[in-house]
Structure 1
Amino acid sequence: MTHPMLKQLPGKKSFQSGIRRAPKRNVELTSEEKRLALKNALRYIPVEHHGIVAPEFLEELETMGRIYGYRYRPEGKIWGKPIDQYPGILEARALQVNVDNNLDFEVALYPYELVTYGETGQVCQNWMQYLMIMDYLGKMTEEQTLVIASGHPYGLFKSHRMAPRVVSTNAALVGNWDDADSFNKLAALGVSNYGQMTAGGWIYIGPQGIVHGTYLTLLNAGRLYLGIPEDENLAGVVFVSSGLGGMSSAQAKAIEIAGGVGVIAEVDESRIKTRLDQRWISLVSDDLEQIAVWIEEYRTKKEPISIAYHGNVVTLLQFLHVKNIRIDLLSDQTSCHVVYEGGYTPAGIGFDEGRELIQSDLKRFKSLVNESLTMHYEVIKSLVERGTRFFDYGNSFMASVLDAGVKEIARNGFD
């Protein structure tokens, strides 16, 4: 289904330094499956360009685990421009603003790989799809609907003024195929896309979108677990968690709004810098002794503060446990839905070392993740025995601990 937007062969692109890049998505494909992946990507490209593009796509598949079609990314900066700079009807112009905002270098997690947030949440699968989607949006009428499945645009269909302008689905896997291995293979083949909530839904607004809900969660955890009266906030309450990514960074601002003391561990220094620049966090240190001083200082003063610890959450919790520093509320927001793909960095190694291991020795990386999850669980268990209240935030943390081999986390030992 060659699209007019793809008839011309653009030049090869270079990558701007300092922009985060996705790790390799590890999946083993047979020779036949690789041919199918290439066929699925090349369906967008005129046959006369296949001789040039096919080897590039194969290289992307083998080095990145996906075919992104980097050559087809538009030149320069992509950002949500003023709405009147886009073509088409008002609704479609608004959607184009949203799509481009999701891919802005200042917004997206891995913009070159079309990942907006959540480690794997993509706008669409590749840059060919992006060009087609934007072209369809620019041409649609008020009586048409664009139908998309996992980033693949089927085209514009006649509808009516009150119908949705876009109907889109992502990663619609069910039954025996609803598991990570199946998804990873289908994504590598170019037939499935994980859109998270607002990446593939084209309406990402960062942690501001959930900070109110996160605030309410923490406030109600204090009321439920700590007996905080409804007319009081979390003054003097210490909350510890991990993650300062696109969604998880809401924890830092939420605990401050709630009046408490928050310590959020993050291994990726670039994310800490982003949140510090955006004023979502107030203090930063990689010194555990300094973290301890701040905790006790602000707990005693009952003043709200958000503290970023540059380091591994397991290391942080073990230190606080040994020092007998009370933690009132404890959670986790690492990207455990992709625990072996970079969503969880094992204790004992740095962020960059973890990314290198994913590329060079995935088996070793998985083993370290499992060991770390086990340690993570053990220190949480010890803290809970001292009175800490832990809750899973729905990020698959406890499921990952179970998969790592800690059967006691499940009452029946297996689910």
Structure 2
Amino acid sequence: MEIIKSPTGKEITCKSWQQEGLLRLLLNCLDPDIAKAPEELVAYGGRGKVARDIESLKAIVNALMNLENDETLLIQSGKPVGVFRTFEYAPRVIMAGALLVPHWSNWEYFHKLEERGLTAFGQSTAGSWAYIGTQGILQGTWETFGQVAKRHFGGTLKGKMVLTSGLGEMGSAQPLAITANGGVAIVADVDRAIVKKRLISSMIDIMADSLGEALEMAGEYIAKGEPVSIGLCGNAADVYGYFVSHKITTDVVTDQTPAHDLESYIPSGLSPREAHLLAEEEPERYEKMVMETIRRHVRAMVELKNMGAVVFDYGNNLREQGRKAGIEDAFCFPGFASEYIRPLFCEGRGPFRWVALSGDPEDIYKTDEVILSLFKGDTRLHDWLNFVERRFMFHGLPARVCWLNYKERSVFGKIINEMVTSGKLKAPIAITRDHMDAAAVASPFRETEAMKDGSDAIADWPVLNALLNCSSGATLVGIYQGGGVGIGYSIHSGVTVIADGTEQAQKRLDHVLKADPALGVIRYADAGYETAREIIKDPDFPAKVVS
């Protein structure tokens, strides 16, 4: 398969920038600089695919290039199925991904359908063509560890050791986020090649040859009060178990292995290649080894909690897998979203992102200046931009993530569109977000865990969110299943608007960037959260609340 990269510059091959922007986002997801396995159409998250197969990818590209400005392309689990005449203000692309009737909504049945070529797993932003690499999750990870520091350690992780695992496309945000908050990170990954890759790309500072060496270096940096991230090749169950058996204390423990997808989780004692071969040749034996490793992995985290560490699940369904493996108290430690991120959701604040379709980093730096000027009083936002500009290199199309609230998004979107109109930016900007947003997800073991009113599993909200974004005029809208935690455990929606400098784009932006996050505030107000209830009383709140 040929190397795929997004086109850049001002020239377009589609009939307008609305279609061209989506085409560039799609191809950017497969850029080898950010994608996990582009030859398999996998962007990230175990097996999160951007299209069902090569034929579907080619058909999508062809459809986008020929799509008229009053037509809508429908995508069914990564496969294009039809183009319909709608109207200019309608979405250019509408998607549904990996959805199953609830009774059959499990990995076993999904795999049977997948093997027959009937569906595909898009994770979250892979399926919605909004994946931008590690930065996509970096600020959320930075915010999480910032909240950990604030809650437990007086506002900083200085002099604290954080033990975690997983240096994949999402997990690689951890070392940067931990050191940005002043901490010392030991991050294990079973794939030595991945650890080396993160070292070369400066996502980790040092690669240790052994756990003993990692501990020695961590101790030195803790004594000096300096941050550092140490990568280590090792299985999480073995590394965490060593801490327990040798009574080594650490301050914080979490994990970002692909536990949500057992076919991507590597059993103890096997290399990634050996695991892949065993899964093909002896799938039952492989699954038993996986579950035994997960049992040891989760048991060690429970014991480290009992030894005094702050322990939390980082949204990969590890606790539920541990429960299935026989750990009765697997849920004795909380999930990150309910414990540390929920107050932000109550404000309609979430992982807002934008992508420079020109391919020129200067377009992003110009938008950074807008953010710094617009929100002068937000020191946390200023700290974030200063950090990410200093430490993070662009990969694929230049992009930025900022956790903006329901007011800030529409104000910023209007200015961006005006900058495109005036020529201050070299080409249009794609404005999108992660699916981990206030109204965009129902995930009882992650974002909606332990809701105040018990509405953890209510999936109406992301469906309403997708429908609302369609009627508000988004460029792309989709509804999906299984992102982050696996099939059967979540429903979530994605949205993108292309800011192409036109009046029509401004109408799209004004409606979508108000409605999308405002519904999140309503969702949390409905669940009984006082912050959200106060916000919806604001006369300028962009919705009439009926209740």
Q: Could you say whether these structures have the same fold, taking a TM-score greater than 0.5 normalized by the shorter chain as the test?
A: yes
Q: Tell me the secondary structure at the aligned position of residue 306 of structure 1.
A: strand
Deviation string 1:234-257 (CA, Å, 9 cap, x unpaired) is 101111111111111111110011
Alignment of 1:254-403 (within 5 A): 254-339=177-262, 341-342=263-264, 344-403=265-324
Deviation string 1:246-283 (CA, Å, 9 cap, x unpaired) is 11111111001111011111111222222222211111
Between 105-114 and 146-155, report the one with greater CA deviation.
Answer: 105-114
Deviation string 1:301-356 (CA, Å, 9 cap, x unpaired) is 111111111111122222233443321110111111112x12x1122222222122
CA contact (8 A) 1:136 1:155 kept: no
5+ residue gaps, structure 1, are: 1-72
Q: 1:38 aligns to what?
A: none
- Residue 160 (structure 1) aligned to one of 54, 62, 87: 87
Q: Does 1:79 align with 2:2?
A: no
Deviation string 1:116-141 (CA, Å, 9 cap, x unpaired) is 11111001111111111101100112
Q: Tell me the secondary structure at the aligned position of residue 107 of structure 1.
A: coil
Q: Does 1:187 align with 2:147?
A: no
Q: Using the TM superposition, give the Cα deviation of residue 78 of structure 1 relative to its aligned residue in structure 2, in angstroms.
A: 1.1
Q: Using the TM superposition, give the Cα deviation of residue 85 of structure 1 relative to its aligned residue in structure 2, in angstroms.
A: 5.4
In 1, Cα distance between the equivalents of 2:295 and 2:58?
44
Q: 1:201 aligns to what?
A: 128
Q: Using the TM superposition, give the Cα deviation of residue 292 of structure 1 relative to its aligned residue in structure 2, in angstroms.
A: 0.7
In 1, Cα distance between the equivalents of 2:60 and 2:303?
51
In 1, Cα distance between the equivalents of 2:227 and 2:326?
38
Q: Tell me the secondary structure at the aligned position of residue 206 of structure 1.
A: coil
Deviation string 1:18-72 (CA, Å, 9 cap, x unpaired) is xxxxxxxxxxxxxxxxxxxxxxxxxxxxxxxxxxxxxxxxxxxxxxxxxxxxxxx
In 2, Cα distance between the equivalents of 1:410 and 1:288?
27
Q: Tell me the secondary structure at the aligned position of residue 261 of structure 2.
A: helix
In 1, Cα distance between the equivalents of 2:68 and 2:158?
54
CA contact (8 A) 2:208 2:214 kept: yes
Q: Does 1:88 align with 2:15?
A: yes
Q: Which AA in structure 2 matches 1:124? A: A
What is the root-mean-square deviation of aligned Cα atoms in Å? 1.8
Q: 1:149 aligns to what?
A: 76
In 2, Cα distance between the equivalents of 1:141 and 1:93?
11
Q: Which AA in structure 1 matches 2:162? A: F
In 2, Cα distance between the equivalents of 1:351 and 1:136?
37
In 2, Cα distance between the equivalents of 1:239 and 1:158?
54
CA contact (8 A) 2:114 2:120 kept: yes
In 2, Cα distance between the equivalents of 1:256 and 1:410?
28
Change (3 A) 1:357 1:303: same
Q: Using the TM superposition, give the Cα deviation of residue 178 of structure 1 relative to its aligned residue in structure 2, in angstroms.
A: 1.2
In 2, Cα distance between the equivalents of 1:285 and 1:256?
17
Q: Using the TM superposition, give the Cα deviation of residue 357 of structure 1 relative to its aligned residue in structure 2, in angstroms.
A: 1.1
In 1, Cα distance between the equivalents of 2:101 and 2:311?
31
5+ residue gaps, structure 2, are: 333-444, 446-547
Between 305-314 and 268-277, report the one with greater CA deviation.
Answer: 268-277
CA contact (8 A) 1:337 1:396 kept: yes
Sequence identity (%): 33
Q: 1:248 aligns to what?
A: 171
Which structure exhibits the higher relative contact order, with contacts defined as CA atoms closer than 8 Å and separated by 6 or more residues? Answer: 2
Q: 1:44 aligns to what?
A: none
Deviation string 1:146-189 (CA, Å, 9 cap, x unpaired) is 11111121222112222111111101123101111111111112
Q: Which AA in structure 2 matches 1:165? A: R
Change (3 A) 1:234 1:181: same
In 2, Cα distance between the equivalents of 1:313 and 1:377?
10
Q: TM-score, normalised by structure 2?
A: 0.58
Count of aligned positions: 332
Q: Using the TM superposition, give the Cα deviation of residue 208 of structure 1 relative to its aligned residue in structure 2, in angstroms.
A: 0.5
Q: Does 1:136 align with 2:63?
A: yes
